[in-house]
Chains A and B, each alone.
Chain A
């Protein structure tokens, strides 16, 4: 199938999907005034005003810091606990294994909004509202099942004979996990970590519900709550959107192949 139309189609798609990104970036560098007169495709003037305002007036580094702390903490915890659990679920024989795996899958299908009422009450009772812990723990409700799911998919791909060989060679289960499985599973673990981090960074509803102010709000929530004195501060909002997305873009560009593999392996193995 060597169709020229396909290349055209490809170009069209890329254009359609990338254009809004370009437009956002371009607009974030356009002066405030011209924003409300529909700027041309390529802005005539470029300015850093919005970005400066973002950090000077709105102290946007606060939400960025919060996002970083919460996402990293949640990812680390989820990956460590998830790796151990995934190993047990795929390599050790015990009763109820399939049931547990089904349970993990079920939990990952939960609508987050369903957890907000009880978690809110629980966090309020333990004085964890508007704290880092009060975000990381709820984040684990989706980060853990996600990690486990991705890691189980990955562990299943490792040849079981390698562990058999290690056991026969005299290694205990724990030794074989440490010396053989983990070094080999490292790419899969990295992929799971990257994807988990992505989901944590983008998380919105928990951050919205369980924080009260800029000291603990994450970046997505912060930009959603931007208020202008007279009109919607589009320049700053778009600049904030760019800044919020930058770390993610960096991760995606650096790890694009891993991400695609992780996403498709998890789905296809199912």
Chain B
């Protein structure tokens, strides 16, 4: 079911503005990930959709109907909480069946649906246990099962993977993805982990201070970030940003920074190609190649090497008082600490932003 927020604002009793005039549309069957730093309002948005909070202004439209004042028990949505919120005094089977019971489904039907979901999630042996007797991963499955068994209009997931160990998190992430493909249900997934957002989402919405910075499919978000916030939030290690200015040169630009100068054929907004307009050049750590000194755009001295096995993160300082830069190199190319290296920026992977407000000019 499609879900839409129309100009939704939420101001809490203590004056805190959690959501600022947000308009967001989630298509039927889409998996949208809401991602952003703590306090950006992503959980609040989820709760607004669920009906656990009411908007100060704006509308929540679910499946074409205005559900703004409708209480949560009438919205036919399912939610998976970060802490799972399993009913501690009920067995797993009762936890799974609770929602159906509240809706008056008859006992036989409940039993068969619960059984089917338990089988699908491989939690059948746990049906008679209480939540306290389960491991974290098992509880998470039960929480998921509780949502699935209701066959709701949409699924709301509030950081469901955050409490799992890193390895389990990666595995469960894949399972969630498969689940989405199988059920073809609308899902809204909240997380603070940008990697999770990139791997799971059909589209990602990056939130900051209650407003959406950019809503786009993962690849587009990675390759064409709309501003520096999105650019540095998505992708690890963080994108390098350098203070530069740009001047026109024939059909392209010359970008000049401290310690380097680049000729590029990028097209930028006309107002920004002016030596008086401070800009930021964005280059991702993986979009910089090691070359022989003198054949690249800049020369830098290595300050720190963090080996990761198959690759290494190398931090270096651009010579003659230039800025620091972070690059990722293959294991067989790792320089020595203190060594001087040559760097070349890939021309097709450059980003230019205004320095004052961070918006992209390309």
A and B touch in the complex (CB under 8 A): yes
A34 contacts the other chain (CB 8 A): no
Given contacts A170-B103, A180-B87, contact A165 B73 (CB under 8 A): no
B150 neighbours in A (Cβ, 8 Å): 169-170
Most central of A167, A168, A171, A172 by chain B CB within 10 Å: A168
Query: Known: A159-B83, A161-B81, A180-B87. Is A167-B52 also a contact (CB below 8 A)?
Result: yes
Q: Mark B47-91, 1 if CB is under 8 A from A, else 0.
A: 000111000000000000000000111111111010101111100
Residue in B73, B83, B87, B103 whose CB lies within 8 Å of A168: B73
Provide the residues of chain B in CB contact with A179, threshold 8 Å: 98
Contact check, B52 vs A172: say whether CB atoms are below 8 A apart.
Answer: no
Pairwise interchain contact B73-A170, C-beta atoms closer than 8 A: yes
Closest to B77 in A: A168
CA distance A161 to B71 in the complex (A): 16
B79 touches A171 (CB 8 A): no
B30 to chain A, nearest CB (A): 20
Bound-state Cα–Cα, A115 to B63, Å: 59
In the assembly, what is the distance between CA of A172 and CA of B146, in Å?
18
A175 proximal to B (CB < 8 A): yes
CA distance in complex: A251, B114 (Å):
43
Range of interface residues on B (Cβ < 8 Å): 20 to 34
Which of A165, A166, A172, A180 is most buried by chain B, counting CB atoms within 10 A of its CB?
A: A165
Contacting A at CB under 8 A, from B107-148, are 146
Measured CB to CB, the closest approach of chain A to B79, in angstroms, equals: 5
Asked whether A168 and B89 contact (CB < 8 A) given A159-B83, A161-B83, the answer is no
B79 touches A164 (CB 8 A): yes
Q: How far apart sit A179 and B83, CA to CA, in the bound complex (Å)?
A: 20
Asked if B99 is at the interface (CB within 8 A of a chain A CB), the reply is yes
- Given A159-B85, A161-B85, are A168 and B79 also a contact pair (CB < 8 Å)? yes
A165, A170, A184: the one contacting B89 at CB < 8 Å is A184
Interface residues as binary, A128-172 with B (CB distance below 8 Å gives 1, 0 otherwise): 000000000000000000000000000000010110111111111
Is there an interface contact between B102 and A175, defined as CB atoms closer than 8 Å?
yes
Q: Are the CB atoms of A168 and B50 closer together than 8 Å?
A: yes
Chain A 162-194 residues near chain B, CB threshold 8 A: 162, 164-172, 175, 179-180, 183-184
Q: Which residue of B lies closest to A184 (CB)?
A: B89
CA distance A156 to B10 in the complex (A): 24
> Could you say which residues of chain B place their CB within 8 Å of the CB of A170?
73-74, 76, 99, 102-103, 150
Indicate if the CB atoms of B71 and A167 lie closer than 8 Å.
yes
CA of A257 to CA of B98 in the docked complex: distance in angstroms?
33
Tell me, in angstroms, the Cα distance from A175 to B99 when the chains sit together.
11
- Cα(A161)–Cα(B79), bound, Å: 11
Question: How far in angstroms is the closest Cβ of chain B from A205?
Answer: 41
- Give the Cβ gap from B195 to chain A, nearest Cβ, in Å: 26
**Least CB separation from A161: chain B residue:** B85
Contacts of A168 in B (CB 8 A): 50-52, 72-73, 75, 77-79
- Of all chain A residues, the one with the shortest Cβ separation from B103 is A170
State which of B73, B81, B87 has its C-beta within 8 Å of the C-beta of A167.
Answer: B73
A167 to B74, CA, bound (A): 9
Q: Is A164 touching B85 in the complex (CB atoms < 8 A)? A: yes
Give bound CA distance, A167 to B150, whole Å: 13
Verify A169–B146 contact, CB threshold 8 A. Answer: yes
For residue B77, which residues in chain A have a CB less than 8 angstroms away from its CB?
A: 168
Q: How far is the CA of A169 from the CA of B150 in the complex (A)?
A: 8
- Inter-subunit contact A169/B99 (CB<8 Å): yes
Taking a contact as CB atoms under 8 Å apart, the answer to whether A171 and B102 are in contact is: yes
Does B87 lie within 8 Å of A162, measured CB to CB? Answer: yes
Q: Interface centre among B73, B99, B150, by most A CB within 10 Å?
A: B73
* Nearest CB in chain B: distance from A211 CB, A: 43
Docked complex Cα distance between A156 and B89 (Å): 18
The residues of B that contact A169 with a CB separation of less than 8 Å are: 73, 78, 98-99, 102, 146, 150
In the complex, the answer to whether B103 meets A164 with C-beta atoms within 8 Å is no
B171-188 interface mask toward A, CB cutoff 8 Å, 1 = contact, 0 = none?
000000000000000000
Q: A180: which B residues are within 8 A, CB to CB?
A: 87
Interface, chain A (partner B; CB < 8 A): 159, 161-162, 164-172, 175, 179-180, 183-184
> CB within 8 Å of A: which residues of B?
50-52, 71-79, 81, 83, 85-89, 98-99, 102-103, 146, 150
Further 13 A-B residue pairs, CB within 8 A, beyond A168-B72, A169-B102: A159-B85, A164-B72, A164-B79, A165-B146, A167-B51, A167-B71, A167-B72, A168-B52, A169-B78, A169-B150, A170-B103, A171-B73, A171-B98
The list of the 9 closest CB pairs from A to B, nearest first, reads A169-B99, A165-B85, A161-B85, A170-B102, A167-B72, A171-B102, A168-B79, A170-B73, A183-B89
Could you list 21 examples of A-B contacts with CB < 8 Å?
A: A161-B83, A162-B85, A162-B87, A164-B52, A164-B79, A165-B79, A165-B85, A165-B86, A166-B102, A167-B71, A167-B73, A168-B51, A168-B52, A168-B73, A169-B73, A169-B98, A169-B146, A170-B73, A171-B73, A179-B98, A184-B89
